Structure formats: structure tokens, C-alpha cells
Amino acid sequence: MRESGRRECSSCCSIRTARVGARARTPGETNGERIASLYDALAQFTPSPIVELNRAVAFAMAFGAAADLELVDALTSEPSLNAYHLLPSVRGDLLVTLGRLDEAYGVRARDNPHAQRP
């Protein structure tokens, strides 16, 4: 519920998330904590693995890659994401951010046989 007493909806959460991202002139100005909280709300209205992956990325923006990697790792066992190309991309990026380059290369090599070491 919003402070005004009006009930939120999934479309409202999506629109607010886009607005918060659009207001930032640079990635550093993005309000990651606000986006993470909006994805929390969206996950209540529209629970799906894709929303959870987006929520995990928002958490990385707000709280760092280590917290996010746990959320993403939990999604790797989700059957509907087995062929989703962004899951290994997100995971590989987080591993690079954390300095775990050999693991990141392994993720990229499985996803793309022509991948080069980071």
C-alpha cells in the first residue's frame, strides 16, 4: 500500500522503476535502493524468475555484487531460466566485479564457446 492508501499494481511498480532509472544522468546517480524496493513490490504482484533476476541486479546496484551473487546463484536452478541468455551474463559480470575472473571465464565459456578470458 502507498502512503496515500491507494493500492499499488504491477504496472505502477514497473513505471516507477523506469522513472527512477531515467532520472539518473549517470549510472552512479541511480537510486539503486529505491529500484530494489520497487522490484520487491513488483515481485509481490508479478512473481516470476525474470522479475527475480532484475531484482537481483537492482540489489547489486544498491548493496554490492556479493549480496547479488547469492540471489543469482539461487536462480541458476530455475528451470524456466535454463536457456535465458541474460542469467549467465549477469552471473559472469558479478564474478568479474568480485575479481573472481577464472569463475567468470568458466561461465562465459559455457555460454559462448568463443569467449575470451576477462
- Dump pLDDT digits (tens) for 86-113: 888 888 889 999 999 888 888 766 655 5
pTM for the whole structure: 0.72
Domain boundaries, the chain: 10-111
Tens digits of residue pLDDT in 55-77 = 888 888 888 888 788 888 889 88
For residue 78, how many C-alpha atoms fall within 13 Å in the half-sphere facing its CB?
18
How far apart CA 45 and CA 39 sit, in angstroms, is 10
Tens digits of residue pLDDT in 16-43 = 776 776 777 887 777 878 888 888 888 8
Residues 6+ apart with CB under 8 A from 57: 68, 90
Best CATH choice for the domain 10-111 from the list 1.25.40, 2.40.30, 1.20.272, 1.10.10: 1.25.40
Average pLDDT, the chain: 78
All cell numbers assigned to 39 = 522490484
How far apart CA 70 and CA 111 sit, in angstroms, is 20
